[in-house]
């Protein structure tokens, strides 16, 4: 850890930097408006001023079985966990969190912060898929050097022995937090963390590479929570009741779904991701029942609701209270959002509530938000111009791509579009890498100073401005709004022309009815010094499937729409494509699976 801190102190000397360890800077106007000194202070104040108010309602079955916790109860649970935790470890150590979705996780996460221990959220290994899920958890334990692991009494027998016999993993002490006596809360001593102190390590989802631990401070969290709240207030919206089914192990579910309602003194309504996936109607029913004002989601959730919610079920909903529908976490598709808006308009959903946004764990969470109260923005861009790193309006009859605007930067956020090779700042409608300067930028990657330097310390070559977070994403600015076009690392370059995998994947999804939506990966491989296109596609069923027919349809569609030859088209079993635990497509993992012959094939 010390190497990471030393590197931070050496390079963060200019620009809108976070509060680093041992360093201070004047607070911005937006930061001065934030009434809390830390996340601990935030919850403790809420417990003192509105202790009897319900802070969180957990829907055990996704519908009617409820478990409630008030602000005072949540504060007391966190204090009790902190006291017990400090009996087996010390401040600054890392604590792995392995929980099924529920209120116990919330108390454990906050308990770590109340103890000055660095929380390390992780998705529990799936006993049915240990070969896939256990290595990821072990990598997190190994990288974070966690000293303790927190879980519940019912989960402990399943996970307590998973790391035994692995000498590469530090032996951890286990604590079942649901067995902690509430009476210990009175023995808590406030560690008084500052803005520059680490709160937790957010391990990235690994959509393009191995997971990395993003070092998120109390100041990072407060800045992102505060500026998000301020943006909502400026747009005439309020975060009163936040309904979420997102995994709390990832930034959108943890920071947006869990911490944001506490910051705003509202109420959080939660269900497990599985409850939503099994029956998407539950999400919309919860918004109806509890008069939800705010909910965040990835794009696929809208498509799932349109497909799974019947007209009769829709007509029983009332979504008129939903004023902040924040769409992010994966590439946005204009047609999916428009179908959802049109389909659920009879239920009171308004187009003005839909707010696309852009963010990433390395910037804590949100970077941009579109206006609440105005329809989202869509540009029809020439596909050929994108290949040439420009964003020009499509001419009639020209192959085009509809790109959804992700809104304007939050306050204190300095957003640049930069040539990733020359580091020269680009102008309006020029496509380059998205660079972010913000106090919400995390300190770097845990124990990885070299990668932290490359990612978090970007300096422009033309103006020597920085440091900036290099997002690895491609996009352009148009009339003050950010438009994201793809991932820099995912770019496919064939015969000198640039192709976005997202465009090819949409084409493949529409090529044949048996190709499963959202489960297609396009990537390139090196074949004797030439870059070749490979497509991996899930099928919806293997019964009566004519693989040759599907492959032919995919090849024809890719050729017609992109003037590309698919070097290989691989069809795989339903529900077998590589995705992160939050549902993001892992093109990098699909590519490795293709090269390593580990995909679950049905035909080639």
Q: What fold is seen in the domain 24-54+72-230?
A: Rossmann fold (3.40.50)
Helix (H, G, I), strand (E, B) or coil at 24: coil
140's CB contacts (< 8 A; 6+ apart) are 96, 120, 122, 146, 203, 211, 213
- Residue 489 clears pLDDT 80, i.e. is over it: no
CA distance 337 to 254: 24
Confidence (pLDDT) at 4: 39
How many helices (H) does the chain have, and how many strands (E)? 20, 27
pLDDT given for residue 23 in this prediction: 57
Look at residue 11 in the predicted model and tell me its pLDDT.
35
Assign a CATH topology to domain 241-451+464-487. Answer: Rossmann fold (3.40.50)
Rounded Cα gap, residues 265 and 268, in angstroms = 10
Q: How far apart are CA 37 and CA 41, in angstroms?
A: 6
- pLDDT(577) > 50: yes
**64-73, 159-168, 387-396, 536-545, range with the lowest pLDDT:** 159-168
- Under the banding of pLDDT at 50, 70 and 90, the label for residue 255 is very high
In tens, the pLDDT along 204-234 reads 754 444 678 999 999 999 999 999 999 998 8
What is the share, in percent, of the chain residues with pLDDT greater than 90? 65
In this prediction, residue 581 has a pLDDT band, given cuts at 50, 70 and 90, of low
pLDDT tens track for 98-126:
998 888 999 999 999 999 999 999 988 77
Contacts of 492 (CB under 8 A, 6+ apart): 498, 499, 500, 501, 504, 522, 523, 524, 531, 533
**pLDDT score of 16:** 63
Beta bridge partners of 119: 95, 200
Instruction: For residue 421, give the DSSP letter.
Output: T
Quick one: which of 145, 70, 146 has its CA closest to 112?
A: 146
CA–CA dist 346, 366 (Å, integer): 30
492-603: CATH number: 3.30.300.30
How far apart CA 26 and CA 598 sit, in angstroms, is 53
Residue 6 has pLDDT above 50, yes or no: no
Give the CA count within 13 Å in the CB-facing half-sphere of 397.
0
- What pLDDT shows up at residue 92? 96
381-395 tens-digit pLDDT? 998 898 889 999 999
- All CATH 3.40.50.12780 domain ranges in the chain, comma separated: 24-54+72-230, 241-451+464-487
pLDDT of residue 491: 76
* 258-272 pLDDT tens trace: 999 999 999 999 999
**For 85-89, 114-118, 452-456, 537-541, which range has the lowest pLDDT when averaged over its residues?**
537-541
Look at residue 585 and tell me whether its pLDDT is greater than 70: yes
The whole-number average pLDDT for the span 175-197 is 95
Give the residues across from 522 on adjacent strands. Answer: 535
The predicted model gives 485-509 an average pLDDT of: 81
What pLDDT band is residue 22 in, cutting at 50, 70 and 90? Answer: low
Q: Is the pLDDT of residue 357 over 90?
A: yes
Cα separation, 67 vs 55, whole angstroms = 11
**What Rg, from alpha-carbon coordinates, does the chain have?**
24
Share of the chain above pLDDT 70, in %: 94
Nearest to 406 by CA among 296, 295, 480, 472: 480
pLDDT confidence of residue 263: 97
Pairing of strands 324-327, 354-359: parallel
Closest of 329, 370, 361, 338 to residue 246, by C-alpha: 329
The pLDDT of residue 169 is above 50? yes
pLDDT band at residue 249, thresholds of 50, 70 and 90?
confident
CATH 3.30.300.30 domain residues, the chain:
492-603
pLDDT at 591 over 70: yes
pLDDT the model gives residue 1: 38
Mean pLDDT of 274-281: 94
Q: Does position 14 have pLDDT exceeding 50, yes or no?
A: no
Rounded Cα gap, residues 283 and 391, in angstroms: 36
Task: Report how far residue 409's alpha carbon sits from residue 207's, in angstroms, rounded to the nearest whole number.
Answer: 24
Q: Has residue 132 got a pLDDT over 80?
A: no
- 497-499/241-244 β-pairing: unpaired
Q: Quick one: which of 326, 354, 357, 330 has its CA closest to 341?
A: 354
Question: Per-residue pLDDT averaged across 295-299, rounded?
Answer: 92
Task: State the pLDDT at residue 495.
Answer: 64
Confidence of residue 603 (pLDDT cuts 50, 70, 90): low
Query: What's the whole-number average pLDDT of the chain?
Result: 89
């Amino acid at each position: 850890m010390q190497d990471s801190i030393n590197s931070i102190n050496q390079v963060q000397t200019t620009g809108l930097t976070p509060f680093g360890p041992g360093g201070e800077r004047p607070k911005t106007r937006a930061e001065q408006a934030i009434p809390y000194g830390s996340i601990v202070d935030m919850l403790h104040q809420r417990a003192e001023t509105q202790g009897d108010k319900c802070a969180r309602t957990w829907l055990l079955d996704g519908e009617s079985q409820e478990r409630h916790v008030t602000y005072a109860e949540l504060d007391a649970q966190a204090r009790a966990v902190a006291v017990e935790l400090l009996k087996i470890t010390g401040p600054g150590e890392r604590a792995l969190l392995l929980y099924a979705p529920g209120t116990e996780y919330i108390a454990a996460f906050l308990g770590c912060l109340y103890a000055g221990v660095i929380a390390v959220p992780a998705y529990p290994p799936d006993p049915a898929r240990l070969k896939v899920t256990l290595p990821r958890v072990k990598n997190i334990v190994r990288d974070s050097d966690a000293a303790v692991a927190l879980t519940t009494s019912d989960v402990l027998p399943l996970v307590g022995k998973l790391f035994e016999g692995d000498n590469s993993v530090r032996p951890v002490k286990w604590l079942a937090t649901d067995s902690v006596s509430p009476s210990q809360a009175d023995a808590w001593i406030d560690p008084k963390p500052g803005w520059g102190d680490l709160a937790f390590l957010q391990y990235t989802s690994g959509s393009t590479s191995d997971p990395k631990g993003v070092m998120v401070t109390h100041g990072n969290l407060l800045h992102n929570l505060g500026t998000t709240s301020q943006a909502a207030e400026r747009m005439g919206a309020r975060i009163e009741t936040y309904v979420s089914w997102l995994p709390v192990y990832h930034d959108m579910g943890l920071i947006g779904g869990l911490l944001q309602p506490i910051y705003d003194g509202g109420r959080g309504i939660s269900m497990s991701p599985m409850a939503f996936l099994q029956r998407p109607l539950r999400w919309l029913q919860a918004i109806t029942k509890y008069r939800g004002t705010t909910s965040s989601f990835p794009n696929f959730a809208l498509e799932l609701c349109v497909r799974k919610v019947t007209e009769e079920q829709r007509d029983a909903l009332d979504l008129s209270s939903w004023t902040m529908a924040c769409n992010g976490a994966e590439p946005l598709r204009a047609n999916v959002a428009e179908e959802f808006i049109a389909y659920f308009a009879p239920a009171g959903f308004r187009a003005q509530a839909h707010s696309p946004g852009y963010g990433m764990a390395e910037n804590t969470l949100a970077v941009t938000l579109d206006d609440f109260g105005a329809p989202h923005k869509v540009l029809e861009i020439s596909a050929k111009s994108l290949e040439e790193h420009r964003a020009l309006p499509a001419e009639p009859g020209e192959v085009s791509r509809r790109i959804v605007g992700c809104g304007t930067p939050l306050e204190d956020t300095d957003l640049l579009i930069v040539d990733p090779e020359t580091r020269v700042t680009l102008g309006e409608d020029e496509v380059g890498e998205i660079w972010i300067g913000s106090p919400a930028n995390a300190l770097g990657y845990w124990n990885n100073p070299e990668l932290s330097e490359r990612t978090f310390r970007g300096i422009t070559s033309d103006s020597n401005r920085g440091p900036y977070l290099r997002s690895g994403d491609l996009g352009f600015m148009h009339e003050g709004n950010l438009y994201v076009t793809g991932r820099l690392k995912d770019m496919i370059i064939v015969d000198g022309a640039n192709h976005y995998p997202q465009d090819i994947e949409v084409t493949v999804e529409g090529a044949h009815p048996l190709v499963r939506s959202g489960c297609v990966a396009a990537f390139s491989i090196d074949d004797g010094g030439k870059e070749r296109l490979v497509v991996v596609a899930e099928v919806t069923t293997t019964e009566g499937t004519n693989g040759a027919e599907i492959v032919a349809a995919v090849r024809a569609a890719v050729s017609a729409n992109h003037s590309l030859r698919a070097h290989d088209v691989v069809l795989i079993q339903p529900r077998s494509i590589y995705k992160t635990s939050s549902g993001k497509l892992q093109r990098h993992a699909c590519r490795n699976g293709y090269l390593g012959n580990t995909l679950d094939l049905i035909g080639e």
